[in-house]
Every structure is written in C-alpha cells, then in structure tokens.
Amino acid sequence: MRIIKVGMADLKVIKAPGILTTLGLGSCVGIALYDGFNKIAGLAHAMLPSSAEISNNQNKAKFVDTGIDMLIEKMIMEGANKNNIVAKIAGGSQMFTFSNNNNILKIGQRNVLATRQKLMNLGIKIISEDTGGNYGRTIQLNSEDGSLIVKTIGHGTKII
C-alpha cells in the first residue's frame, strides 16, 4: 500500500487506498480527519496554535487554525462531505520539563487546546485522541478504515 509522509508544517489528503503518516510528533499536533463514507483521509502536522499571533503566517499548514481550514478544503476538493468528517488527534507533548513556568514549553498543550476549539467551532467531532505526556509519537492514518496507529519509543503502540 502507498504510504505518504506528511512533514512538519505540512498537510496531505488522500482517497483510499493508502496511508498518511507523520514521524516523530513532539510538541506539534497531528490532526487526522476522515470521511468514512467517501474514504477520504487528511492529515495535518501543525506547529503553532494560531496564525493570528504571528506576523509570518503565509504557511497555512504551520498553524492549527488555518491548517484545519485548508485540510477540510482539500478533502472537499477530493470529494469528501464536510458533514461526514470526524477527527482523531495526537501529539502535543511536553518534551522537556522545567520548574519555572515557560510559555513556549506549554506549546504542546496549547496546540491541543487550539485544535479542540477549532474543531468544535466547525462542528467536527473528535472521536479519539492520544495527546500530552513527555514523549514523541509517530502516527499512521489508514484511509481504508480511518484507524490511527500511534507508535512511541518506550510507551508502547496503540490504535485509536
């Protein structure tokens, strides 16, 4: 089966068959959208919660808000129906710990919160998620059934 890689600050859409994967998600968030009726899958690897906070915001896939909009647009262009789309999210970990409060360290958590908020505003349901912690994750979204495999080093592998 074809496997398509989604890099950091990037997003891809495919129609079944095929797998979308993103390797080593850390504080970034992986947003997997799926239309099970039309078997169309989309995966975004967003780095920052909001394009509104940054002046250098041309790369839409870099941000949770504009990335999700663009991902849905692309899925609809492939033939997806927005009403069928459900979401699974993974990542948003805190790779390093410090005793003091450092906003940039909480970026993982902020990415996850921004994702939940954005999807809620769009009326897209999150059916499962594996977020937080202090470790990296590799994810694979199968366009046949919408299953999302989450692999880690030392924290097991699961399907969500």
Partner 1 sequence: MDNDRLDNFMIDVLREIGNIGSGNAITALANMLSKRINMNVPKVRIIDFKDISTILGGEEELIVGIYLGLKEDIEGNIMFILDMDSAINLLNMLLGKEVKELDEISMSALSEVGNIVASSYVNALSSLTGLKIAVSVPSLAVDMAAAILSVPAIQFGLVSDKALFIETIFQEGDNTVKGSLFLLPNIESFQKILSLLGVQ
- Report the catalytic residues: 28
Residue 18 CB, nearest distance to partner 1 (Å)? 19
Which CB atom, from 84 or from 102, has the smaller least distance to partner 1?
102
Nearest to 92 by CA among 106, 74, 73: 106
Task: Provide the binding-site residues for partner 1, judged by CB under 8 A.
Answer: 7-10, 23-28, 47-48, 54, 56, 59, 62, 93, 95-100, 102, 104, 107, 134-138, 153
Residue 105 CB, nearest distance to partner 1 (Å)? 8
Which CB atom, from 39 or from 110, has the smaller least distance to partner 1?
110
In this structure, how many other beta carbons lie within 10 angstroms of the beta carbon of residue 95? Answer: 13
- Positive or negative, the CA dihedral 100, 91, 112, 52 is positive
Residue 138 CB, nearest distance to partner 1 (Å)? 6
By the 8 A CB rule, do 73 and 31 touch? no
- Positive or negative, the CA dihedral 51, 57, 58, 64 is negative
